[in-house]
């Protein structure tokens, strides 16, 4: 329904009259100066008629004054009735109020505080309209915002020695009892999640000093195996290795927890380990007895099921989200077409691999990495594994001697972190493209115990390591300037 319409062109008759009058007067033999002044006045009147007055403020008297730096506040485009309700109405369908919220709390203020705690205050929301970066314009801010993701300190990353410093643990404010199964940085905010096997998830503000807890979620009687932020960061996907027939999602802004069933006909499925496609459209999950599944994220529905000859150990998507890779105990990696046929289009044998435990692909699509049961890491050219059934690795690392349980590249594809949860302090970082292992990480006297998962922040400023004793260690990677 069209509420109103704005005409952007004037009445043709009015414009024609103005032009005709102007032509008649130009013929009249008058003084040239008077003719110019009249023409200027007519053009100004026509310009105001078409475009409106440049100065829309009321005329000021001689006694009025305007401060030179005074900024006019913009009027709201609309007024939403929900902006003036209390938590009693906003959480009418909730079983209980969130932490530190009572029924008289202003609902809008609660949502604003929640949003800013996770994403920060947007520039456009500043009431005084001031720029954050010393008056720079939007184009300059956008340029440096993108460049900041790849520009570091102006020197290359050293290939044998890593510059880093230890920060306060991500579990300083609250330690999660027992084994931590997941640690991950938010894709766009200085926030991290730490998830424990008991079903507890803590969200913390990452600053390297206090790492204060923002919120905590507890799923009772739920054996939590994996928790991941969605690609857009708006929700958390929470899975379990138990065949309970469902998983959970947590909305970052509203705080709502939703149970998502797998199938109506078959409830004996699990979400013990899963991967999200880089475009945010798909979720691939390892199942049991050689099965694994492909889900769409919106809506969350199963669209394909696959099966290997042996137990599935790892799945990952290609950087362009068109291919799905899966590996198992037989040491063969299978490649599936995600968008069209959803069938196996290629497979290759992992060189010397006993059982492919974990797969990873670099963000720049240059490298494919497989980690096997013996701790061997094979580094392939990504193009080679798609064109050959027996590709030869560029490099093999034998620094770890236990099954690989986690692999993670940083955003520039310069650092690869590999770890195993089967031995204490079993973590190594490798440099690319030199394919050399950093000799000074981890710290020789670092008591990390068994590391279950590793993650690197979106701009490689931090690396986090979660262990089996409820702690998540945090280090600052000094080579990278941003979070």
Reported as a pLDDT band with limits 50, 70 and 90, residue 42 is low
Reported as a pLDDT band with limits 50, 70 and 90, residue 14 is very low
Answer with the residue of higher pLDDT: 95 or 229. 229
Reported as a pLDDT band with limits 50, 70 and 90, residue 85 is confident
Q: What does the pLDDT look like over 289-319, one tens digit per residue?
A: 888 989 999 988 888 989 998 889 999 999 9
Please state the rounded mean pLDDT for residues 63-84.
57
Nearest to 354 by CA among 335, 370, 330: 330
Please state the rounded mean pLDDT for residues 199-203.
96
Reported as a pLDDT band with limits 50, 70 and 90, residue 322 is very high
Domain ranges of the chain: 83-120, 164-477
The gap from C-alpha 363 to its chain's centroid, in whole angstroms, comes to 14
pLDDT above 80: residue 146 = no
pLDDT at residue 272 in the model: 81
Please state the rounded mean pLDDT for residues 230-258.
90
**CA-to-CA distance for 213 and 191, rounded, in angstroms?**
9
Min mean pLDDT across 54-63, 172-181, 264-273, 416-425 is at 54-63
HSE toward the beta carbon, residue 181, CA cutoff 13 A: 21
Reported as a pLDDT band with limits 50, 70 and 90, residue 245 is confident
Give the other-Cβ count within 10 Å of 227's Cβ. 24
Percent of the chain past pLDDT 70, that is, above it, reads: 73
pLDDT above 70: residue 202 = yes
Q: What does the pLDDT look like over 363-412, one tens digit per residue?
A: 999 999 999 999 999 999 999 999 999 999 999 999 999 999 999 999 99
pLDDT at residue 55 in the model: 44
Instruction: Report the largest interatomic distance among the alpha carbons of the chain, rounded to a whole angstrom.
Output: 102
Please state the rounded mean pLDDT for residues 8-28.
44
Reported as a pLDDT band with limits 50, 70 and 90, residue 268 is low
**CA-to-CA distance for 234 and 118, rounded, in angstroms?**
10
pLDDT above 60: residue 194 = yes
pLDDT at residue 150 in the model: 41
pLDDT at residue 96 in the model: 73
pLDDT at residue 139 in the model: 40
pLDDT at residue 15 in the model: 43
pLDDT above 90: residue 106 = no
pLDDT above 60: residue 206 = yes
Task: Report the CATH number of the 164-477 domain.
Answer: 2.130.10.10
Answer with the residue of higher pLDDT: 463 or 298. 463
The mean predicted confidence, pLDDT, of the chain is 80
pLDDT at residue 406 in the model: 97
**CA-to-CA distance for 411 and 434, rounded, in angstroms?**
17
Omega of the bond leading into 463 within 30 degrees of 0 (cis): no
pLDDT above 80: residue 413 = yes
**CA-to-CA distance for 366 and 377, rounded, in angstroms?**
16
**Three-class DSSP labels, the chain:** CCCCCCCCCCCHHHHHHHHHHHHHHHHCCCCHHHHHHHHHHHHHHHHHHHHCCCCCCCCCCCCCCCCCCCCCCCCCCCCCHHHHCEHHHHCCCCCCCCCCCCCCCEHHHHHHHHHHHHHCCCHHHCCCCCCCCCCCCHHHHHHHHHHCCCCCCCCCCCCCCCCEEECCCCCCCCCCCCCEEEEEECCCCCEEEEEECCCEEEEEECCCCCCCEEEEEECCCCCEEEEEECCCCCEEEEEECCCCCEEEEEECCCCCEEEEECCCCCCCCCCCEEEECCCCCEEEEECCCCEEEEEEECCEEEEEEEECCCCEEEEEECCCCCEEEEEECCCEEEEEECCCCCCEEEEEECCCCCCEEEEEECCCCCEEEEEECCCCEEEEEHHHHHHCCCCCCCEEECCCCCCCCEEEECCCCCEEEEECCCCCCCEEEEECCCCEECCCCCCCCCCCCCEEEEEECCCCCEEEEEECCCCEEEEEECCCCCC
């Amino acid at each position: 329904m069209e509420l109103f319409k704005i005409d952007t062109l004037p009445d043709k008759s009015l414009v024609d009259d103005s032009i005709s009058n102007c032509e008649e007067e130009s013929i009249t033999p008058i003084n040239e100066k008077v003719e110019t002044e009249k023409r200027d006045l007519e053009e100004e009147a026509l310009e105001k008629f078409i475009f409106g007055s440049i100065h829309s403020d009321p005329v000021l008297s001689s006694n009025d004054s305007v401060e030179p730096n005074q900024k006019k506040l913009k009027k709201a485009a609309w007024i939403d009735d929900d902006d003036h309700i209390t938590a009693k109405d906003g959480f009418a369908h909730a079983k209980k109020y969130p932490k530190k919220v009572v029924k008289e709390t202003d609902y809008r203020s609660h949502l604003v505080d929640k949003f800013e705690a996770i994403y920060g205050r947007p520039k456009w929301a500043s009431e005084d309209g001031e720029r954050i970066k010393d008056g720079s314009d939007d184009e300059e801010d956008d340029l440096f915002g993108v460049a900041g993701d790849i520009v570091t300190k102006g020197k290359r990353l050293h290939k044998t020695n890593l510059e880093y410093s230890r920060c306060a643990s991500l579990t300083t404010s609250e330690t999660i009892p027992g084994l931590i199964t997941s640690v991950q940085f938010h894709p766009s905010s200085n926030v991290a999640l730490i998830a424990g096997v008991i079903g507890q998830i803590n969200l913390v503000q990452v600053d390297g000093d206090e790492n204060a807890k923002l919120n905590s979620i507890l799923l009772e009687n739920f054996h939590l195996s994996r928790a991941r932020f969605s690609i857009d960061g708006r929700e958390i996907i929470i899975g379990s290795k138990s065949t309970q027939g469902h998983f959970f999602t947590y909305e970052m802004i509203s705080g709502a927890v939703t149970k998502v069933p797998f199938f109506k006909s078959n409830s004996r499925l699990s979400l013990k380990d899963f991967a999200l496609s880089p475009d945010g459209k798909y979720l691939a999950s390892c199942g049991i007895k050689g099965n694994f599944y492909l889900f769409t994220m919106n809506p969350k529905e199963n669209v394909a099921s696959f099966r290997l000859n042996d137990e599935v150990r790892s799945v990952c998507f290609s950087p362009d989200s068109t291919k799905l890779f899966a590996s198992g105990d037989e040491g063969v990696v299978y490649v599936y077409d995600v968008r069209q046929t959803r069938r196996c289009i290629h497979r290759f044998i992992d060189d010397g691999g006993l059982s492919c435990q974990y797969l990873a692909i670099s963000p720049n699509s240059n490298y494919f990495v497989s980690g096997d049961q013996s701790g061997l890491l094979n580094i392939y050219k990504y193009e080679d594994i798609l064109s050959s059934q027996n590709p030869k690795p560029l490099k093999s690392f034998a620094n770890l001697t236990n099954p690989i349980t986690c692999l993670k590249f940083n955003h520039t594809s310069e650092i690869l972190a590999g770890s195993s949860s089967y031995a204490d302090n079993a973590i190594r970082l490798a440099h690319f493209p030199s394919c050399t292992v950093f000799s000074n990480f981890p710290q020789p006297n670092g008591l990390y115990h068994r590391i279950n998962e590793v993650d690197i922040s979106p701009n490689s400023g931090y690396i986090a390591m979660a262990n089996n004793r409820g702690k998540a260690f945090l280090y600052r990677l000094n080579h990278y300037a941003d979070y």
